[in-house]
């Protein structure tokens, strides 16, 4: 059974940093894309970054992030991270990690391509 558990959210002041973690399980040896998404109240779910857990690490980022966020992984721990720097009040949202096992198709940052989702972790940035 595939499971994803997010952690690391919280409250931070504008300009601060947070690192989110996504622990995943249930894929066995099959690689997958693990992505980070966020959803603010009244807004659509937004794709932020994704990383491939297979042999060749590929990453994709939303252009709107402008280098503030970095996705990484520790394969030995089945964990994907999202380092978020220079946080702004508009980054306030529920943050989710999601998994897209093979076969892969469509945009790597499209929420509809991802089959498995965690429960989310709240990030609140105050001005």
User: Could you tell me which of 13, 58, 65, 68 has the C-alpha nearest to residue 31?
Assistant: 58
Between the CA of residue 12 and those of 18, 34, 43, 124, what are the distances in Å? 8, 25, 21, 6
pLDDT tens, 28-68? 778 899 999 999 999 999 999 999 998 877 999 999 998 99
97 close to 115: Cβ distance less than 8 angstroms: no
* Cis ω before 103 (30° cut-off from 0): yes
- Mean pLDDT comparison of 17-21, 50-54, 109-113, highest-scoring range: 17-21
The reported pLDDT for the residue numbered 109 is 93
Is 90 exceeded by the pLDDT of residue 101? no
């Amino acid at each position: 059974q595939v499971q994803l558990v997010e952690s690391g959210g919280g409250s931070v002041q504008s300009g601060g940093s947070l690192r989110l973690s996504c622990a995943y399980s249930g894929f066995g040896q099959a690689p997958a894309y693990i992505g980070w998404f966020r959803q603010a109240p009244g807004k659509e779910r937004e794709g932020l970054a994704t990383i491939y857990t297979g042999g060749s690490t590929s990453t994709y980022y939303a252009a709107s992030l402008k280098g503030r966020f970095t996705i990484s992984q520790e394969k030995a721990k089945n964990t994907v991270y999202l380092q978020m720097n220079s946080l702004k009040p508009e980054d306030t949202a529920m943050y989710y990690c999601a998994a897209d096992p093979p076969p892969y198709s469509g945009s790597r940052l499209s929420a509809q391509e991802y089959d498995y989702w965690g429960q989310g972790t709240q990030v609140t940035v105050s001005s």
